[in-house]
Structure 1
Amino acid sequence: MNHSIYSADRTTHLKIVVVALVAGIAVAGFGISARVNSDESYSQTARVIKAGQPVTVTSSGTSVVR
């Protein structure tokens, strides 16, 4: 068993590449299937946010010592 990636032989490197490729395909497939089955069906709606009354923020900058 190789404990270092630098001293690993060719088959170990190939195994690592294959496992990474399969994991990447699985993650991409899960992401695509989750997106295709969404309930929104690619419809977008515009939402309007209206401003309310203006607010004044003040601070005195002094501390109260009792």
Structure 2
Amino acid sequence: MNHSIYSADRTTHLKIVVVALIAGILVAGFGISARNSSDEGYTQTARVMKAGKPVVVTSSSNALVR
């Protein structure tokens, strides 16, 4: 048995490519099928927020060191 990918023959490389391709198709298929396709109550609406008066937030607990 050959344990190195560099010295493997052409059929071993082909097997690796085929297994990787099948695994990728399975993962993509599972991701597409797991997605929720119903739009019941999940609509997003844009809300406009208007800026109010400026607010200044300060804290007097900081010590001033000079």
Aligned residue for 2:7, secondary structure, equals coil
> Amino acid of the residue matched to residue 2 of structure 1?
N
Match of residue 30 from structure 2:
30
Q: Quote the RMSD (CA, aligned, Å).
A: 3.3
Structure 1: stretches of 5+ with no match in the other structure:
none
Percent identity over the alignment is: 71
Give the TM-score taking structure 1 as reference length: 0.61
Local SS of the residue matching 2:29: helix
The 3-state SS of whatever aligns with 1:8 is: coil
Instruction: After TM superposition, list the pairs within 5 Å mapping 1:1-66 onto structure 2.
Output: 1-35=1-35, 37-40=36-39, 44-46=43-45, 48=47, 57-58=57-58, 60-61=62-63
Runs (5+) with no aligned partner, structure 2? none
TM-score by length of 2: 0.61
For these two proteins, the number of residue pairs brought into alignment is 62
